Structure 1
Amino acid sequence: MRVSVYDLTEGCKIAENVMGLTTQPIVKKGTELSAIHLEALKAFNIQQVEVFSKLADGSDLDAEPVREGAIEPSEKFEAQPFKKQYIELINYYNGVFNAWQSGGKLDIVALKSRLMPLLRQSSKDKSIIYQLHRWSEAKNYIAHHSVSTAIISYLLAEKAGYDQGGCMQFAVAGILTDTGMAKMPISILKKSGALNQEEATEIRKHPLYSYQYVMDSPLLRNEMKSAILQHHERLDGSGYPKGSRGSEVSRSSQVLALADVFHAMTSERLYRAKKSPFKALEVIWEDEMGKFDIALLKALQEIVGGLATGTRVILSDERTAEVIFTQPQHLLRPIVKAAGTEEMIDLSKERKLYIEQVIS
């Protein structure tokens, strides 16, 4: 009988080989399922499997067979509007973060299964990157930042030429970069002003704590575990926790680092106003040069910039405008026409102006 993976229990016996994108079965016919098998099936996004109607102990399987055309839970989730899915994941993350603070275990499979539909939609519609900072809110910053870092990491890895499996690993690593924040004192997490030296020293431990959460997981590649540990390291040695520099800093960690800092700069914080994605990326180029991989910076610039002719935007002086032409050497600063006028504005020359928002 064919059943949903969400109805499986330990002791179920597989009636047909379960295949993924590999040449070998993920789970072989005749296997008695254990907890690790159930986790693996969900990790590989397997929706339905063929099982015997009897469990290994001879008792009947208590599950309804999948009806032809039935919609799986993950498909129901994916059919929802993107923002609704996003907010649901934010709420879920807040719940599990509270559990981590109380000593609860990390469930990577559950996070990944809720993240995957967002990644698929983001890949199809990259303009979502212009909305993430608008939805972020200071009081739930860690949840918004973790989910958005995952999405941006995925898009950046995709743009940088990584394969689908690699992009997915970056996304999962992205959503896990700040799990270590659960070990931080509440007084630090809720502080509305700048951290003092003692608090800053404590907060710099969070990459190590995040690494400890994932170091034994078989669902994350070792390079991604190391990337989580290094996501606050910088090529010039100015980062933490070790102050690594140059070749000591992995390129994988640079993907997470760039996604992390880009979203942080565009988000509302308890102690800082958010920046436009366009302005934030310019600041990274101008003020953070030498800290990030140039090829990855260019890749992120291509994702954010290069707006199509006709795209409507809001400028930093609150005027609405329409993109007329984007010069390859000025992807973040196209030529625009102010709405209701014939005035053409070359943002590459009008440096006091910049794009505040893309109108979707």
Structure 2
Amino acid sequence: MKRELVISIDKLKIGMILAQDIINKNGICLLSEGFEFNDIPKIKNMLLSHNIYNIKVIIEEDMDDIYTKEYFEVYDFRKNINNLLNGLKKDFYCIETGGKIKKDDFEKTIENAINSCDGNFNLFKLINKIKDMEDYIYMHSMTVALISYQIGKWMDLSECELKELTLAAILIDLGKIKIPKDIIEKTETLTKEEYEEIKKHCILGYNMVKNNCGINNKIKRAVLEHHERIDGSGYPKGKKAEEISLYAKIISIADVYSALTSKRPYRDRKTPFEAIKILEKEFLSKLDTKILYLFLKKIAGEYLGSKIILNDGRTATIIFIPSQNICRPLVEIEGTGEIIDLSNNQNSKLYIKEFI
């Protein structure tokens, strides 16, 4: 199957076909559409001399083992997310400046986000592979929305509820665009005063959407409540248990998981299984227990077949996840076929360092 793909010139291969003319800054056509690449070093040097680093080519999906089915899934997903983020920035700016987002615009945003979830690929594996994307606020909003949507599907929510839930999750960090950038991007631990500023984003976001007729009250309430905790330790109101809306309970789980598995200015990201362990140990009394147990049960299975790197440097594949110890799966070592049970006491010093 032939595919058009934008690639770095470092990934040029013999036999690739140029998908569109390459024009330099002076308007001169360096290579024409349909050109077949052969002398790769010569072409790369020529393109580099014109400060051209990425080009669009036509390739066969089986041309090289670099371009696997998974490669294309990640490429397409990243492209879709980029488009969604660009749209999200425009929506946030419109709301920030007092504009009204039309209901049709919201519907389109939600439809595009849901379409990104409903392919034949594994959503969580793909999210894990695009964590290097920039624009933290927007990227976090989008990943929380996608994860919330998946949790909602696991809970058998209706189509209407799923759309509402997804939109609410997209909007949870809207208020952060009102927080000083030097606080949002601070690389050191926040002071007590700075943390109090961050906590204001729930109310700031709610105030920005409360008068928008394109957003219903259930969505607005989730924006306000997504940092509430069932034990009353959350903010901004310190609500407990049944005082917190269903959408907020779902989004809070997605929010914590996404935050843990994303790189922050002040720390590196956790692996999915490190995040699961933290959720098990630190959040059982804070997040809705029923929804959290469902999430933990389901998400572990999403990583079956994932390639990982152990802390001793060996590459392996996750082949089984024990229900009683989901953070310590069975893995098969690449090259040797050795099976290692990480839940076995004799392997206690081994752990998953990184997902590939």
Q: Give the TM-score, by structure 1 length.
A: 0.69
The count of aligned residue pairs is 279
Report 1:119-134 matches (<5 A). 119-125=114-120, 127-134=122-129
C-alpha contact (below 8 Å) 2:183/2:194 kept by paired residues: yes
Q: Which amino acid aligns with 2:292?
A: L
* Cα deviation, residue 102, structure 1: 4.8
* Cα deviation, residue 104, structure 1: 4.7
C-alpha contact (below 8 Å) 1:306/1:328 kept by paired residues: no
Distance (Å, rounded) in 1 between the aligned partners of 2:260 and 2:240 = 23
C-alpha contact (below 8 Å) 2:229/2:238 kept by paired residues: yes
Residue 323 of structure 2 aligns with which residue? 328
C-alpha contact (below 8 Å) 2:226/2:252 kept by paired residues: yes
The answer to whether structure 1 residue 338 and structure 2 residue 336 are counterparts is no
SS at match of 1:292: coil
1:198 to 187, 193, 197: 193
Residue 135 of structure 1 aligns with which residue? 130
1:255 to 236, 250, 253: 250
Distance (Å, rounded) in 1 between the aligned partners of 2:211 and 2:94 = 19
Deviates further, 142-151 or 240-249: 240-249
Distance (Å, rounded) in 2 between the aligned partners of 1:308 and 1:198 = 39
Q: Which has the higher strand share?
A: 2
2:266 to 262, 268, 271: 271
Report the CA distance shift for 1:316/1:96 in structure 2 as closer, same or farther (over 3 A). Answer: farther
Q: Which amino acid aligns with 2:243?
A: E
* Cα deviation, residue 222, structure 1: 2.0
1:83 to 78, 85, 95: 78
Report the CA distance shift for 1:108/1:278 in structure 2 as closer, same or farther (over 3 A). Answer: farther
Deviates further, 230-239 or 180-189: 180-189
SS at match of 1:329: coil
C-alpha contact (below 8 Å) 1:230/1:240 kept by paired residues: yes
State the Cα deviation string for residues 96-137 of structure 1 (Å, max 9, x = none).
445555555555643541342332341344622123243234
Residue 227 of structure 1 aligns with which residue? 222
Residue 314 of structure 1 aligns with which residue? 308
Report the CA distance shift for 1:212/1:95 in structure 2 as closer, same or farther (over 3 A). Answer: same
SS at match of 1:216: coil
C-alpha contact (below 8 Å) 1:278/1:304 kept by paired residues: no
C-alpha contact (below 8 Å) 2:271/2:355 kept by paired residues: no
SS at match of 1:253: helix
* Cα deviation, residue 138, structure 1: 7.7
Residue 237 of structure 1 aligns with which residue? 232
Distance (Å, rounded) in 2 between the aligned partners of 1:127 and 1:351 = 29
CA RMSD of aligned residues (A): 2.6
State the Cα deviation string for residues 187-214 of structure 1 (Å, max 9, x = none).
3223222222222112111111111222
Q: Which amino acid aligns with 1:194?
A: T
C-alpha contact (below 8 Å) 1:301/1:332 kept by paired residues: no
C-alpha contact (below 8 Å) 1:89/1:114 kept by paired residues: yes
Q: Which amino acid aligns with 2:340?
A: I
- Give unmatched runs, 5+ long, in structure 2: 1-74
Q: Which amino acid aligns with 1:315?
A: I
* Cα deviation, residue 312, structure 1: 4.0
* Cα deviation, residue 179, structure 1: 0.8
SS at match of 1:195: coil
Distance (Å, rounded) in 2 between the aligned partners of 1:301 and 1:139 = 27
1:157 to 152, 158, 181: 152
* Cα deviation, residue 314, structure 1: 0.7
SS at match of 1:323: strand
Residue 50 of structure 2 aligns with which residue? none
SS at match of 2:308: strand
SS at match of 2:237: coil
Residue 73 of structure 1 aligns with which residue? none
Report the CA distance shift for 1:84/1:228 in structure 2 as closer, same or farther (over 3 A). Answer: same
Distance (Å, rounded) in 1 between the aligned partners of 2:97 and 2:216 = 27
Residue 24 of structure 2 aligns with which residue? none
* Cα deviation, residue 342, structure 1: 3.7
Deviates further, 218-227 or 251-260: 218-227
SS at match of 1:337: strand
State the Cα deviation string for residues 213-244 of structure 1 (Å, max 9, x = none).
22233443422321211100111222111122
Distance (Å, rounded) in 2 between the aligned partners of 1:150 and 1:314 = 26
Identical pairs, percent: 33
Distance (Å, rounded) in 1 between the aligned partners of 2:349 and 2:236 = 36
Residue 147 of structure 1 aligns with which residue? 142
State the Cα deviation string for residues 5-39 of structure 1 (Å, max 9, x = none).
xxxxxxxxxxxxxxxxxxxxxxxxxxxxxxxxxxx
SS at match of 2:301: coil
- Give unmatched runs, 5+ long, in structure 1: 1-79
